[in-house]
Structure 1
Amino acid sequence: MAGGWTRDGAVQDQIDDTVRDALNRARRALPQGASLERCEECAAAIPEARRKALPGVRLCLTCQEERDAQTTGFSGYNRRGSKDSQLR
């Protein structure tokens, strides 16, 4: 049920766009290419099991966890077509 100027299904379309954007962002973040044997950051050995499980890996688990913790969060709210986004 849409209200005002929106058409029926507009809310679901925004949800679908948000999910699609998140998937595309996650796919772009996946490592690609050949895995390294040593970490780019600290030069520690990257275990063979990690290299096989995640092709293209470039960081050891410790450095990857630190990088993940530093990565800023995404609000996850899709403002495309929202009146609020037009006001800012």
Structure 2
Amino acid sequence: MATGWAGDGAVQDQIDATVKEAIERARSQMHKGPSLKHCEECDATIPAARRKAVPGVRLCVACQDARDREQRGASGYNRRGSKDSQLR
């Protein structure tokens, strides 16, 4: 059932597009090739288990965590928004 100007399935289409973009962004950030034995940023040793688990790894866990935190703040926007944000 359509609501307002939105067509049937519009909300699901937005959700699907958001998920698709997130997957594409994650895939584009994945490194290819052999894993490094030392972190690109801090030169710490990257354990063999991490190199095996994450092919093409370039950063140690601490540096990767810091980068993920930075990117989390700069990630995309919520297309759907919340009712509170629409009312302000």
TM-score (norm 2): 0.75
What is the aligned partner in structure 2 of residue 47 from structure 1? 47
* AA in 1 matched with 2:78: Y
For the residue of structure 2 that corresponds to 1:78, the secondary structure is: coil
Q: How many residues align?
A: 79
Deviation by residue 1:19-77 (Cα, 9 ceiling, x = unmatched): 11111112222222111111111111111111111110001111111111222243552
Structure 1, unaligned stretches of length 5 or more?
Answer: 80-88
Superposition pairs of residues 9-88 of structure 1, within 5 angstroms: 9-71=9-71, 72-78=73-79
TM-score by length of 1: 0.75
Q: Aligned-pair RMSD on alpha carbons?
A: 1.8
Classify the secondary structure of the residue corresponding to 2:57.
Answer: coil
- 8 Å CA contact 1:18–1:76 kept in 2: the answer is no
